[in-house]
Amino acid sequence: MNKGELLDREGIVTEEQRDRYRRDGHLVISQLLSQAEVATACPALFATANREHQKLNDYERSVGASGSRFVYDLRQIDPEVWQFIASPRLAQWAAELLDTDRVRILHYNCFFKPAGGKATPWHQDYLFIPLEAEKLITAWVPLVNLTPEMGLLTFASGSHEVKTADFSAANQYSPSQLEQELAERDLRLTTVGNMQVGDVSFHSSLTLHGALANRSDRMRAAVAISYYADEARIQDPEQSNSAAALQAIAYRQHFLREYFPNLQPGDLAQTPEHPIVYTRLIED
C-alpha cells in the first residue's frame, strides 16, 4: 500500500452528512476515532503542547493559541504526534468533505485552553492562509471529554457561503450585534454540545467561528489538523478584502515564506513538507 492510501472503506461520509456540511460549513462526527488511539497519542501531544506553550505570551496562553505566529512545525515533529495527525481515517473524511481524491496536511495546532482561559476571537481561517479557501478544511479533535463550561466551538452556520471577508471585523460586535448581523443574512450561531474523546468536528476555512471562555477548573485540550486538496493553488497573499487587511496580509505573507518559500501565486501547493496523507482508491 502506498503512503497516503486507505484500503478500509468503512466510515465513508453519508449523503446526509455531506449535505449537512455543505449547508452549515461544519460537521461533528461522534466516535470517529477510538478512545484508545487518542489516549495513545496524548502523552506526546501534551508534552509537545507544554513545551511549545512556553513560547506564548500571557494572553496567548490564556486563549490557548497564537494568532500571529507559528508554534508547531511539521519539520520538527515528534514521530508519535505525526502518527496521530496523519491518521488515515481523519484524512479520508477531510478528503470526502472536500470532495477531492487526495489531501495534504497543512499544519496542526494544540489548542490547550487553561481553566479560566479567555474566549477565542471570531475568525475565518482562510483570511490567514494563502491557499484557495474552498480547498481547506480543519479537523478539531478533543483530547479530553468536553462540557459546555469548558469553552466549546461556536460556528456561524452557513457563513462559508458568503465567501467574502464580511465577517472579518466580527470581534468588534457585541454578542447581540453579531446575532443581528447573522440573522440579517439568515445565518445562525451553533455551539457544539458536549464532545467526548473520539468525537471530531470538521469546519471549512470559510466558516466564521470562535470558542467561548473556559469557565471550568480543567484544561480544555484539543488538537486541530488542517488539510488541503492536492490540487489547491497558492493565492496572492496581498489579495484580501478584509477589514483587518493589514494583519491578514502580513500573516499570509509570513505563511507563504515559511511554508511555501519556493512557490508563487498560481503554483500548485505540492511540496514534500506537506505530504499526501490520503489517496482515494479508484475502484475497477
Give the model's pLDDT for residue 244: 52
Domain assignment present for 274? no
User: Along the 284 residues of the chain, how does pLDDT read in single tens digits?
Assistant: 334 444 344 558 899 999 999 999 999 999 999 999 999 999 999 999 888 878 777 777 676 666 656 667 888 899 999 999 999 999 999 999 999 999 999 999 988 899 998 888 888 888 889 999 999 999 999 999 999 999 889 999 998 987 544 565 555 666 667 777 777 777 888 888 889 999 999 999 999 998 889 999 999 999 999 999 999 999 998 876 555 566 778 888 888 998 999 999 999 999 999 999 999 876 54
pLDDT at 185: 78
Q: Would you call 185 helix, strand, or coil by DSSP?
A: coil
- Residue 174 within a domain: yes
For helices 88-98 and 15-24, what crossing angle results, to 10°?
70
Look at the chain and report how many structural domains it folds into.
Answer: 1
Asked if the structure places residue 270 within a domain, the reply is: no
In a domain, 2, yes or no: no
Q: What are 94's three cell numbers?
A: 477531510
Residue 63 lies in a domain: yes
**Residue 267 belongs to some domain of the structure:** no
Cell of 91: 484524512
Tell me, what's the pLDDT at 12? 82
Is residue 268, in this structure, part of any structural domain at all? no
How far is 10 from 116, CA to CA, in rounded Å?
Answer: 40
Buried residues in 189-209 as b, exposed as e (16+ CB within 10 A): bbebeebebbbbbbbbbbbbb
Residues in the chain: 284
Determine the pLDDT at residue 9.
Answer: 47
CATH number at residue 173: 2.60.120.620
What does residue 203 show for φ and ψ, rounded to 5 degrees?
Answer: -145, 150
DSSP 109-171: EEEEEPTTPPPEEEE-GGGG--B-GGGEEEEEEESS-B-GGGT-EEEEETGGGT-SSTTTTGG
Nine-digit cell string for 22:
455543505
Q: Is residue 237 part of a domain?
A: yes
Question: Which residue range(s) make up the domain with 117?
Answer: 21-261
